Amino acid sequence: MLMIFRASLFAFAALALAGCGPGTQLGSIAGGESKVFTPPPHVILGKTQKDQDWIDETIVVGVAAFNWPLPQPRPASLDNAPPPRRIVKPQKKPGIFKRIKIKLTREKPAEIAPPAVAPVIVPPPPPPRDPVDELLSPGNK
pTM: 0.35
Residues 32 and 66: beta-carbon distance below 8 Å:
yes
Q: Which helix (H) or strand (E) holds 33?
A: strand 33-34
**N- to C-terminal Cα separation, the chain:** 150
The domain segmentation of the chain, as residue ranges, is: 27-79
Tens-binned pLDDT, residue by residue, of the chain (141 aa) = 767 777 777 766 666 666 665 555 554 455 555 667 788 888 888 888 999 999 999 888 888 888 888 889 888 888 776 777 888 888 888 899 998 888 888 877 667 777 788 888 888 888 888 888 888 887 766
**Backbone angle region of 12, left / alpha / beta, with phi > 0 → left and psi within -120 to 50 → alpha:** alpha
Helix (H, G, I), strand (E, B) or coil at 131: helix
Residues 130 and 138: beta-carbon distance below 8 Å:
no
Helix (H, G, I), strand (E, B) or coil at 54: helix
